[in-house]
């Protein structure tokens, strides 16, 4: 019996049903009461509000954050756009108005009539947009002659304004209308169709800081759409201001140096990874994106063989050419394949199997050691070194030096480059590795591909004694009220170069000799009173097959590289330059790096005496 | 085919009320999809909904061939299947508007978060019908059901679909309260909650607090949820006593209402049919629930009884939250109005629930097979 009482059966459960019914009835009575309240008691008021769909939303767009350089020079701000529209019902004399407008706006009458015609069936209280972003001169005329131009409406809309035309275009980026894919991605929960969001560069990477918070009003309007009262208001909050690491003067100088050329220049502070300049040429004018481009303008941009839409510093992949000898040298020294005493005799060519590999210097370099091989960029030395190292060891050191992997700079679409090894070749082409390819790799030709930013990080690391810093483009993010939102004061190391103290000293000595010795390939980069270190590179565009055309044709000319840092001890700037089809690194790229470093050192006040080199 | 018990005890009332609600739903949906313009794609929704309802009824008839008692045996499998579907959604699901809720299976898009509601109800009924004594559930006995509920809850919230997640929690809590929680366990739970909730609140970040506050009170977000609620209230209120008439709703016509064919369909109904129409609809839900409770009352085994209670909780909470939301009493969450909101998975889930109710009512005298 006791057991029977304790267990649950349906009889016991049934006695709990009434309690449930009471809860449910209570809940439903709330629903009925609310329905009664809304429809019967407040029904009249709501019917009135529904009459013209009175309650509407008016958005107040947030002012987008400003962008400054490292010295607080304004680079990007917002300017008002005056959009002209017409409300047909309020126009007194349509023909006269159109005639005047046609003259002032420079738009033919038929085009204007066409625009109006489209909206004619609509409620004529609805403003029809005639022209976006009219000039202040037209605005003044319209404002002054309000009586003649009745029915014209001016709407003010904030537009992005890039202050220095074409400057830092690839770094700053541009805005564009949000597309459906982005809307559906859920990454832009506050955005709606027609909103502008960052599509490239800093505008894209720091969208969430720059955009601010949209405000708006719930308003009640009358039958003609005029606001009768504001029911609720949400204030808009301006976006945060972004302070970049670049130096606007240096940036503009880099761009000036690139005028008329295809290529890029980037500069970095080797002790922090802060990017001081990031220029890619040819560029585009971001303001064209703001006001809207014609199809023709867009086609020109996209079809330009100089690829203006691409940020070459991070997106373009090139063979590293002789700059890669740094990697081969590090591998050789660290693996004890060579030391400072190892010498190689360069007769101007090297035979490997049944092939002859040429040194760039026909007559040969004679007997060279590692420092001289770097300084004079002797290919034969590195052919032999590469052969001894083998492709796998070179690839391993290459990866440790940061190649084949993005640097993680805060800009979208960074390319990874390519570190080839036998395994890669097998899976890519299905054929096995040839020893000759190892030789090509050793001097940075062949399948090797690097981005200028990867080379810059390596150069800076050699300059600072071996730490690879992540390239940083932002110094701080500050709210409109001046509160610091985010700072990037601490440099972020990506890793150390795979080098011992001795090795890095030898490499540094080699790079010093490139610029500061009689036979150095980078002599042209010398700066008075300061020791510059660097490395030249000349990247072949096509393979040596003869049937591929005349190598002097401009699109088949080699790319010119120069990487450098200065001063040679405790450098404050490192620079990478590549000029597409510039031919020789020494002549086409090195002077650009020199000029850029010269101005920066001058600006920094570093004019110290040349220290004695051992 | 059907034995005489089936015929004698068939729950005609439940069937008729269900049928009426479906009719009201189709009429309102027709208005909601045609008023927005003459887009063909919109009208397709209406046809699709008819097909879903039709298949629901066919399924209802077929399900009578089997006894609900088989669900007890198959409960684990059904539950597990639902969980697998939920995991599949997170991996393979289709993303719409930022949430991953839909699974495309051979041209049919299903929403497993709807089906899992039934899965949880069956699983809990199975557990509670065995592990119970009249003193109520102890803390230890509550752990397993908690796991049964938390797994689908987290999977659904991850999509993210907070509304459905909350409905699952509410259904499970109702069922648990029904079978009674031991006094000591209850006081432990209550005291735990009073400690944890403020603690969690303390650790939340500013924007997370804002989001929760806005969720509880949509008026805080006058440009988003608050705007939808005011438009919904205008639509409902402007219906007054007798409504504007079929296809004459204006708020609906100009697309001032968001989601007017799914979550906000009650606003369309109330605007066009007024207090009379909306009142009758809510009354029909109440009748459906009372008839369901009657089934529970007449049931002779505890599994069937708890199962019936669970299904009633499923219907009740969705009606209460949805209708409460469109009238501005509840947070704005995506909870459909059973049988009326557009959505195949929701319709099928509700129909499944009702067919189980009818099954329990009809087979209460049936001998164990």
pLDDT at position A213 is: 87
Here the tokens at position B26 are: 């189709």
* Interface contact A57-B223, CB threshold 8 A: yes
- Sign of the torsion angle spanned by Cα atoms B1, B7, B10, B16: positive
pLDDT average, residue stretch A48-76:
85
pLDDT average, residue stretch B5-20:
82
Q: Best mutation site among B238, B279, B290, B303 for testing chain A: the one with the most A CBs within 10 Å?
A: B238
Lowest mean pLDDT among A141-150, A175-184, A376-385: A141-150
* Interface contact A42-B309, CB threshold 8 A: no
Catalytic residue positions of A, numbered: 322
pLDDT average, residue stretch B59-66:
86
- Assign A244 to helix, strand or coil: strand
pLDDT at position B258 is: 61
pLDDT average, residue stretch A247-276:
94
Measured torsion, CA atoms of residues B291, B296, B298, B301, in degrees rounded to the nearest 10:
160
pLDDT average, residue stretch B2-28:
83
pLDDT average, residue stretch A569-596:
91
Cα of A464 vs its chain's centroid, Å: 25
**Interval B212-256: pLDDT, tens:** 787 778 777 877 778 888 888 888 999 999 888 887 776 654 455
pLDDT at position A546 is: 45
ipTM confidence: 0.92
Identify any residues that bridge with A22 across adjacent strands, giving them in sequence order.
none
Here the tokens at position A4 are: 């029977």
Question: What is each CA distance from B14 to A9, A53, A86, B117, B364, in whole angstroms?
Answer: 25, 40, 60, 20, 15
pLDDT at position A301 is: 85
Q: Sort residue A192 into left (φ over 0), alpha (ψ -120 to 50) or beta.
A: beta
Compare A611 and A37 and report the one with higher pLDDT.
Answer: A37
H or E stretch at A496: strand A493-496
* Interface contact B227-A21, CB threshold 8 A: no
pLDDT confidence of A225, banded at 50, 70, 90? low
CA nearest to B280 within chain A: A32
Average pLDDT of chain A to the nearest whole number: 86
- Does the pLDDT of residue A603 top 60, yes or no? yes
**Distance from first CA to last CA of chain B, Å, rounded?**
15
pLDDT at position B368 is: 46
- Does the pLDDT of residue B349 top 50, yes or no? yes
| Distance between CA atoms of residues A163 and A161, nearest Å | 6
pLDDT at position A353 is: 82
| Distance between CA atoms of residues A87 and B149, nearest Å | 59
pLDDT average, residue stretch A346-374:
90
Please state which of the four CATH numbers 3.40.30.10, 3.40.190.10, 3.30.420.40, 3.90.1310.10 is assigned to the domain occupying A58-244: 3.90.1310.10
pLDDT confidence of A547, banded at 50, 70, 90? very low
* Interface contact A47-B240, CB threshold 8 A: yes
- Measured in angstroms, the CA of B132 and the nearest CA of chain A are apart by 6
Compare A323 and A151 and report the one with higher pLDDT.
Answer: A323
- Does the pLDDT of residue A411 top 50, yes or no? yes
| Distance between CA atoms of residues B108 and B110, nearest Å | 6
What residues of A are in contact with residue B286 (Cβ under 8 Å)? 24-25, 28
pLDDT at position A551 is: 54
Domain with CATH 3.40.710.10 in chain A: 248-283+311-604
Q: Which residue has the tokens 């980037």?
A: A266
- Does the pLDDT of residue B369 top 70, yes or no? no
DSSP-assigned letters across all residues of A47-114: HHHHTTT-EEEEEEPPPPPPEE-TT--EEEEEEEEEEEEE-GGG-S-HHHHHHHHHHHHT--HHHHHH
| Distance between CA atoms of residues A489 and A574, nearest Å | 19
pLDDT average, residue stretch A172-199:
81
pLDDT at position A159 is: 86
pLDDT confidence of A228, banded at 50, 70, 90? confident
Q: Which of B98, B226, B312 comes nearest A189 by C-beta?
A: B98
pLDDT at position B162 is: 83
- Does the pLDDT of residue A102 top 90, yes or no? no
pLDDT average, residue stretch B308-315:
96
Domain with CATH 3.90.1310.10 in chain A: 58-244
* Interface contact A46-B180, CB threshold 8 A: no
Q: Best mutation site among B220, B222, B237, B266 for testing chain A: the one with the most A CBs within 10 Å?
A: B237
Average pLDDT of chain B to the nearest whole number: 85
Using a 10 angstrom Cβ sphere, with 0-12 exposed, 13-18 middle and 19 or more buried, the burial of residue B321 is buried
Regarding the domain delimited by A248-283+311-604, which CATH topology (the fold level of the hierarchy) does it fall under?
Beta-lactamase (3.40.710)
pLDDT average, residue stretch B100-129:
88
B329 touches chain A (CB under 8 A): yes
| Distance between CA atoms of residues A509 and A610, nearest Å | 15
**Interval B165-189: pLDDT, tens:** 999 999 999 999 998 888 888 898 8
B200 touches chain A (CB under 8 A): no
pLDDT at position B97 is: 65
Respond yes or no on whether the N-terminal peptide bond of residue A592 is cis (omega within 30° of 0): no
| Distance between CA atoms of residues A326 and A320, nearest Å | 10
Q: Best mutation site among A19, A39, A55 for testing chain B: the one with the most B CBs within 10 Å?
A: A39
Name the A residues in 4-23 with CB < 8 Å from any B CB. 5-10, 12-14, 16-17, 20-21
């Amino acid at each position: 019996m006791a057991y029977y009482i304790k267990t649950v059966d349906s009889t016991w459960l049934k006695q709990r049903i009434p309690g449930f019914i009471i809860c449910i009835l209570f809940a439903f009575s709330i629903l009925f009461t609310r329905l009664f309240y809304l429809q019967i008691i407040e029904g009249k008021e709501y019917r009135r509000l529904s009459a013209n769909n009175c309650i509407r939303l008016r958005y107040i767009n947030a002012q987008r954050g400003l962008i400054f350089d490292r010295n607080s020079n304004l680079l990007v701000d917002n300017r008002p756009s005056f959009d002209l529209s017409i409300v047909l019902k309020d126009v007194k004399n349509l023909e006269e108005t159109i005639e005047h407008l046609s003259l002032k706006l420079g738009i033919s009458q038929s085009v204007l009539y066409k625009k109006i015609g489209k909206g004619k069936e609509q409620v004529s209280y609805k403003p029809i947009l005639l022209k976006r972003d009219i000039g202040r001169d037209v605005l003044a005329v319209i404002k002054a002659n309000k009586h003649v131009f009745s029915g014209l409406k001016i709407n003010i809309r904030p537009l992005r304004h890039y202050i220095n035309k074409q400057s830092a275009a690839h770094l700053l980026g541009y805005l564009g209308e949000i597309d459906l894919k982005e809307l559906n991605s859920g990454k832009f929960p506050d955005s709606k169709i027609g909103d502008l969001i960052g599509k490239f560069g800093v505008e894209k990477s720091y969208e969430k800081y720059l955009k601010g918070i949209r405000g708006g009003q719930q308003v009640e309007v009358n039958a003609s759409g005029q606001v009768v009262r504001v029911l609720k208001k949400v204030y808009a909050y301006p976006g945060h201001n972004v302070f970049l690491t670049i130096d606007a003067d240096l940036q503009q100088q880099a761009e000036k140096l690139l005028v008329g050329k295809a290529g890029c220049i980037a500069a970095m502070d080797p002790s922090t990874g802060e990017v001081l300049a990031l220029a890619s040429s040819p560029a585009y004018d971001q303001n064209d994106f703001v006001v809207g481009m014609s199809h023709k303008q867009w086609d020109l941009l996209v079809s330009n063989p100089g690829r203006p839409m691409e940020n070459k510093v991070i997106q373009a992949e090139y063979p590293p050419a002789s700059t890669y000898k740094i990697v081969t040298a590090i591998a050789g020294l660290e693996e004890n394949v060579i030391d400072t005493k190892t010498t190689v005799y360069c007769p101007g060519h090297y035979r490997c199997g049944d092939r002859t590999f040429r040194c760039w210097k026909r007559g040969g370099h004679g007997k060279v050691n590692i420092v001289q091989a770097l300084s004079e960029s002797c290919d034969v030395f590195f052919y032999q070194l590469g052969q001894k190292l083998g492709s796998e060891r070179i690839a391993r050191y290459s990866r440790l030096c940061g190649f084949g992997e993005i640097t993680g700079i805060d800009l979208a679409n960074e390319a990874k480059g390519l570190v080839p090894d036998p395994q890669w070749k097998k899976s890519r082409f299905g054929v096995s590795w040839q020893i000759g390819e190892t030789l090509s790799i050793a001097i940075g030709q062949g399948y090797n591909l690097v981005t200028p930013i990867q080379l810059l990080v390596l150069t800076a690391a050699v300059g600072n004694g071996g730490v690879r810093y992540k390239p940083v483009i932002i110094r701080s993010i500050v709210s409109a009220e001046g509160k610091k939102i985010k700072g990037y004061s601490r440099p972020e190391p990506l890793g150390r170069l795979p080098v011992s103290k001795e090795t890095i000293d030898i490499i540094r000595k080699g790079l010093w000799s490139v610029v500061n010795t009689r036979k150095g390939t980078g002599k042209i980069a010398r700066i008075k009173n300061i020791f510059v270190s660097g490395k030249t590179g000349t990247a072949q565009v096509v393979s040596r097959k003869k049937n591929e055309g005349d190598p002097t044709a401009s699109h088949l000319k080699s790319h010119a590289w120069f990487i450098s840092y200065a001063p040679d001890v405790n450098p404050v700037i490192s620079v990478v330059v590549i000029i597409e089809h510039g031919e020789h690194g020494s002549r086409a790229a090195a002077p650009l790096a020199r000029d850029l470093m010269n101005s920066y050192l001058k600006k920094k006040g570093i004019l110290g005496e040349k220290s004695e080199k051992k | 085919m059907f034995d005489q018990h089936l015929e004698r005890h068939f729950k005609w009332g439940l069937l008729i009320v269900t049928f009426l609600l479906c009719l009201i739903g189709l009429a309102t949906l027709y208005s909601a999809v045609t008023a927005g313009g003459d887009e063909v794609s919109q009208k397709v929704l209406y046809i699709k909904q008819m097909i879903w309802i039709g298949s629901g009824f066919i399924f209802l008839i077929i399900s009578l061939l089997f006894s609900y008692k088989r669900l007890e045996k198959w409960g684990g499998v059904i539950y597990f299947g639902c969980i697998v579907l939920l995991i599949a959604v997170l991996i393979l699901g289709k993303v719409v508007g930022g949430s991953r809720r839909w699974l495309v299976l051979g041209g049919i898009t299903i929403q497993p978060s709807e089906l899992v509601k039934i899965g949880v109800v069956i699983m809990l009924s199975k557990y509670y019908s065995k592990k119970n004594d009249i003193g109520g559930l102890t803390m230890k006995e509550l752990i397993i059901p908690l796991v049964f509920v938390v797994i689908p809850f987290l999977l659904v919230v991850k999509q993210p679909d907070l509304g459905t997640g909350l409905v699952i929690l509410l259904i499970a809590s109702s069922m648990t309260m029904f079978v009674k929680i031991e006094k000591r366990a209850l006081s432990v739970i209550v005291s735990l909650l009073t400690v944890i909730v403020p603690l969690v609140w303390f650790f939340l970040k500013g924007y997370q607090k804002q989001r929760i506050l806005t969720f509880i009170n949509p008026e805080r977000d006058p440009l988003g949820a608050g705007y939808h609620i005011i438009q919904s209230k205008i639509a409902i209120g402007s219906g007054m006593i007798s409504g504007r008439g079929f296809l004459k709703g204006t708020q609906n016509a100009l697309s001032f209402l968001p989601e007017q064919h799914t979550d906000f369909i009650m606003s369309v109904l109330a605007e066009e049919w007024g207090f009379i129409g909306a009142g009758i609809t809510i009354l029909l839900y109440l009748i459906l629930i009372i008839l369901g409770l009657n089934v529970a009352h007449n049931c002779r085994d505890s599994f069937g009884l708890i199962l019936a209670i669970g299904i009633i909780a499923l219907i009740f909470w969705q009606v209460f939250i949805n209708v409460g939301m469109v009238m501005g009493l509840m947070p704005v969450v995506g909870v459909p109005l059973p049988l009326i909101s557009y959505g195949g998975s929701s319709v099928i889930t509700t129909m499944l629930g009702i067919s189980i109710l009818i099954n329990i009512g009809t087979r209460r005298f049936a001998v164990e097979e």
